[in-house]
Amino acid sequence: MKPEYQEYINSLNMTYEKAYGNCKKVCEKMNKQFPELILTRGHYYCAVWGERMHWWLQTTEGEIIDPTATQFPTKGHGVYDQWDETQKEPTGKCPNCGEYCYEGEQVHRECHNAFIRSLMQ
C-alpha cells in the first residue's frame, strides 16, 4: 500500500464503532482525497462473521485499500469479492431457506407454497 494511503487511514483513527456500517461513506470521502482509487462494492468474507456486504477502494492494479477493515474481527485479512454489476440485485433473503430473493420477493415462491401446504394438512 502506498504510504500516503496508509497515512490517511491512520489519520482517521478508525475504531470498530466509527467503521461499522460506515464503509461506503468513509470510502467515498477517501476517494475524494485519492480519485485514482476505484470505489468498489461487494462482499467481504470474514472467518468469524461470515459473508458481509461491504464497500472498499481498489487501485487500478487491484490492490485492496480498506479504510474500515477494523470493523471486522479479521481486520481485512478475509476475502473481498467484488459485486458484478451485471447480476440481478438481491432484495433480501428468504426466511425459510436463507437464499437470496430477487425482484421484490420477500420469500421464494416454492418456500411460500410449501408453508401454505403445511398449514392445510
Q: What is the pLDDT of residue 85?
A: 78
Q: What is the pLDDT of residue 94?
A: 80
Structural domain spans, the chain: 3-83, 88-121
Strands (E) in 14-70, as ranges, are 38-46, 50-58, 64-65
CA-nearest of 49, 50, 54, 67 to 4 is 67
Q: Are 60 and 38 in contact (CB under 8 A)?
A: yes
Tens of pLDDT along the chain (121 residues) come to: 999 999 999 999 999 899 999 999 999 999 999 999 999 999 999 999 988 889 999 999 999 999 999 999 898 899 999 988 787 877 777 877 878 888 777 777 788 788 788 888 7
Distance of CA 71 to the CA centre of its chain: 12
Q: Are 46 and 88 in contact (CB under 8 A)?
A: no
Element housing 12 (H / E): none
Number of Cβ within a 10 Å radius of residue 53:
12
Q: What's at 28, amino acid-wise?
A: E
Distance of CA 34 to the CA centre of its chain: 21
**Cα(116)–Cα(45) distance, rounded to whole angstroms?**
35
Edge-first strand order for the sheet with 64-65 is 64-65, 50-58, 38-46, 79-82
Q: What is the pLDDT of residue 99?
A: 82
Q: What is the pLDDT of residue 112?
A: 79
Q: What is the pLDDT of residue 39?
A: 96
